[in-house]
Structure 1
Amino acid sequence: MNVAVVLLTLGPLLIAAGGWVALNVRGAAAALERWAAANAELRMHARGDLGPAPRVASAVFYRYLGSVNALCGVLLTLGGLVELA
């Protein structure tokens, strides 16, 4: 398979997924924050610790990761376009 095809497939997917979280479309970053908090609570309960779960990451952190993901997608897309030329 041609490298340009792979890069031009993965790049826009990363841009879309990262942009979705970075722009908090339909509360994606907030949902990831709630999901991480629920998983941390479940892990603590499985260990037998019934105290409050520590805060793992905030929605702002997930939005930052989404923007990094989208920028990496832009780089992959540009790399795929360079491979085509």
Structure 2
Amino acid sequence: MSLAFFLLALGTMSLVAGIALAFNIRDAAGAAARYAAVNTERAMHARGDLGAPKRVMSKHVYRYLGSVMALAGLVFTLGGLLELAF
């Protein structure tokens, strides 16, 4: 029974976070892109490179990854419900 609760908790958290990224609720994807840019800039400064940071992933990539995370969360949630049922 503990596996069912673990799957339900993990699936629900992944589903909610994935939906927030996929639908860009409160600019979550933009914040993730800005966080990655700042983190890249800090890593470059730590190495001594003072140039402009390269943009690795855009906001749209984070939205796509959020949709994948939401689908995985849905699978985990349904797996937890099936584990509870049987």
* TM-score class normalised by the smaller sequence: over 0.9
CA RMSD of aligned residues (A): 1.0
Cα distance in 2, alignment partners of residues 40 and 8 from structure 1: 34
Number of equivalent positions: 85
Structure 2 residue 14 is the aligned partner of structure 1 residue 14: yes
Segments of 5+ residues of structure 2 without an aligned counterpart are none
Q: Which residue of 1 aligns with 2:39?
A: 39
TM-score (norm 2): 0.92
Shift of 1:52: 1.1
Code of the aligned partner of 2:59 = A
The CA distance in 1 between the partners of 2:70 and 2:5, in whole Å, is 18
Identity of aligned residues (%): 56
Q: Structure 1: how far apart are the matches of 2:38 and 2:25?
A: 21
Report the Cα distance in structure 2 between the residues aligned to 1:48 and 1:79, rounded to whole angstroms: 48
Mapped partners of 1:2, 1:44: distance in 2: 44
Normalising by structure 1, report the TM-score.
Answer: 0.93
- Which residue identity does 1:55 align to in structure 2? R
Residue segments in structure 1 that go unaligned for 5+ positions in a row? none
